[in-house]
Amino acid sequence: MQAEIARNRARGKARSAFSCFSERIVCGGCGDFFGPKLWNSNSKYRRLVWQCNSKYRDRTTPKCQVTHLTEEQIQKAFVDAYNQIIADRERYILALEPVIGMLSDTAALEEEAQTLGERAAGLPAIAGHGSCQRPARTGSTGLPATLR
């Protein structure tokens, strides 16, 4: 999660969760993301389209020439891509097995957890020496007498 927040901060904008397609469709013309735009919001021709977010961002630079997409086009493209992956799933599984093996290898994490557990086992002995004890609370403020 922290990596995603840092990536968004580096891009200079917050992440939007308007749709499952938000910030997933990349413009082939300029590389910016497509975003949903509402056309004719107050008329009977009202419709939702997806446009490159840099199309009207800055009037000093030439606008992106890539046309808009409709929600139906995006959904159809997603279903077609999903069906293609399902039809050829054995090839995808074989290609992803090394990645799955790498991600499921927890030996290094288990070793680090054991090391931290051993280090944490020594902490109660240190705390018993008085170096980590809280000062006594006195008075109505609940603060030690030295801080009042």
What pLDDT, on a 0 to 100 scale, did the predictor assign at position 11?
65
pLDDT of residue 91: 94
C-alpha 7/C-alpha 13 separation (Å) is 9
Alpha helices in the chain (DSSP H): 2-11, 71-87, 89-104, 107-121, 123-127
What is the mean pLDDT for each group of 10 consecutive residues in the chain (148 residues)?
71 66 85 88 90 80 85 94 94 92 88 89 63 56 56
Lateral strand order in the sheet of 47-52? 34-39, 47-52, 69-70
Q: Where are the domains of the chain?
A: 2-106
**Exposed / middle / buried, residue 50 (Cβ in 10 Å: 0-12, 13-18, 19+):** buried
Give dist(CA 78, CA 81) in Å, integer: 5
State the pTM of this model: 0.53
